[in-house]
Amino acid sequence: MVSQGEAFCPGHVTAFFEVCEHADPRRKGSRGAGLSLSLGVTTVVRVREATRPSLEIFVNGRPAKAEVTDRAARKVLPGGTYEVKILSETTLPVSQGFGVSAAAALSTTLALDDALGLGSPREELVAAAHVAEVECATGLGDVVPASMGGMDLRLEPGAPGYCDVRKFEVERELLLAVLGPEVPTRSVIRDPAKVSAINRSGTACIQEFARDPRFDRLFDLGVRFAEQAGLADKTILEVTRASRMFGRATMAMLGNAIVAAGNLGQLGTLYRKFGTILRCEIDNVGARVL
């Protein structure tokens, strides 16, 4: 007999951050601030007992390696022999700072737990996804805020039980625009020189935002961070500056993409020549079983 579970996890955009190292992956992560997106990853998990174990992952209908999803699922699977099929769907581009790997991993742990009727504590399912992403070096701080939704301020890093994340509900429409090629997160967070520059600027931005955690301030500090940390190329900087005519935009960490708010029609016209543009809202609910 096949059992099935389904879950959704919002995508997540970080505006600025600080890398926080630790030997324990549950305590490793990032401090920072960002937004959860109404676009994300919906995952259906189908499980049945079998004579030989197997785990297959499909993303948008195609077989995928999906290292983070695979690792997160194996952390949740109980003892026994199961045939597992994980079917994830998303419209968000990967490796562009939209937290797709985190959303895929967390929607998978929630759906798998639901399919098997395990009743695991939510904090453990969130922790499994966080640890999987940290171990794979695909991200440091998207999982926990995506589990909560809203605009977030991450004051302490890590999985539930260690992190300190504050949530602010914000009702705003957003525009996402991809301006350049993919950026593998591990190429940045494993580079000591880049991490040093990130932390110098990130620490100051976090302190300022904590004193005045407003939506518009998130964008202003994000632009400053992208420039000071040396993460934004010429195109990103020019587009974020031009966006001030119609609203605000900031770089999605870590990707060649931006998130914007304001006059979305005018902003869309400004971004259209670059290619991929997606419209969404802030998701104030967070990851959930469907």
Q: What is the pLDDT of residues 48-70, one digit of tens each?
A: 999 999 999 999 999 999 999 99
pTM across the whole model: 0.96
CA separation for the pair 87, 7 (Å, rounded): 11
Which pLDDT does position 2 carry in this prediction?
87
Please name the fold of domain 1-290: Ribosomal Protein S5; domain 2 (3.30.230)
Average pLDDT over residues 117-125: 97
Average pLDDT over residues 30-35: 98
Q: CA separation (Å) from 142 to 23, 29, 220, 253, 268?
A: 19, 9, 20, 10, 26
290: pLDDT strictly greater than 90: yes
Q: What is the pLDDT of residues 87-98, one digit of tens each?
A: 999 999 999 999
Highest mean pLDDT among 79-83, 189-193, 248-252: 248-252
Q: What is the pLDDT of residues 136-174, one digit of tens each?
A: 999 999 999 999 999 999 999 999 999 999 999 999 999
The set of residues, in sequence order, having a beta carbon less than 8 Å from that of 192 and lying 6+ positions away, is: none
High-pLDDT (> 90) share of the chain, %: 91
